[in-house]
Amino acid sequence: MRDLLRLIAFQLGSEVSYEELGKQLGMSKTTVEKYLDLLEKVFVIYRLGAYSRNLRKEVTKAGKWYFYDNGIRNAIIGAFSPLAIRQDVGALWENYIIGERRKANFNEGLHREFYFWRTYDKQEIDLIEESADSLTALEFKWGNKMPAAPKAFQEAYPYAEFHVVNRENYLEFV
């Protein structure tokens, strides 16, 4: 279980292959899935599935795993360096904002579903929020970059809102 959590911690914000995890741990894909399900049920980690509405170019089967608490994630891998010298600050930022958005959704009684979006040619969006009447795309940047929505996303979902969340405006989104 600890080794599985370590692998997830090092892949924070990246797509995870159960088969690959199983090979690295010497266990079956089914066992990996059961362990991840257990870790999700006890609120250590949670999964974001891929968002797709039948476009051939969109990734549909992959999932990304995040920690409910960045501190737990850091403890598992022994990473306690200051943010200024960390290589994983972008992943930590993404994990933090997604977690806060999920909490706000729950606390406000909203009924949004959460996903990530990616195409096979590597265009991606960190978080998609879908409700009965809206679709919102959020890109998280630790720095001050303000990218536009990926062209494929704009074409497929022209009605969707798109926001870049960074350190200057994040309080509007959490």
> pLDDT tens for residues 31-78?
999 999 999 999 999 999 999 886 777 777 779 999 999 999 999 999
pTM (2 d.p.): 0.93
- Classify the phi-psi angles of 140: left when phi > 0, otherwise alpha if psi is within -120 to 50, otherwise beta: beta
Looking at residue 1, its pLDDT comes to 92
User: Beta partners for 77?
Assistant: none
Please tell me the distance from the alpha carbon of residue 134 to that of residue 72, in angstroms, as a whole number: 33
SS3 149: coil
Q: pLDDT tens-digit profile of 116-169?
A: 999 888 899 999 999 999 999 999 999 989 999 999 999 999 999 999 999 999
**Closest-CA residue to 141 (of 94, 98, 107):** 94
The pLDDT value recorded for residue 92 is 97
| pLDDT of 4 strictly over 70 | yes
Distances (CA, A) of 145 to 101, 140, 141, 163: 21, 9, 7, 12
In the chain, where the domains are located: 2-172
What does 98-135 look like in DSSP terms, one character per residue?
HHHHHHHHHHTT---EEEEEEBTTS-EEEEEEE-SS-E
pLDDT (tens digit, 9 = 90+) per residue, 73-125?
999 999 999 999 999 999 999 999 999 999 999 999 999 999 999 988 889 99
Token pair 């960190």 is found at 126
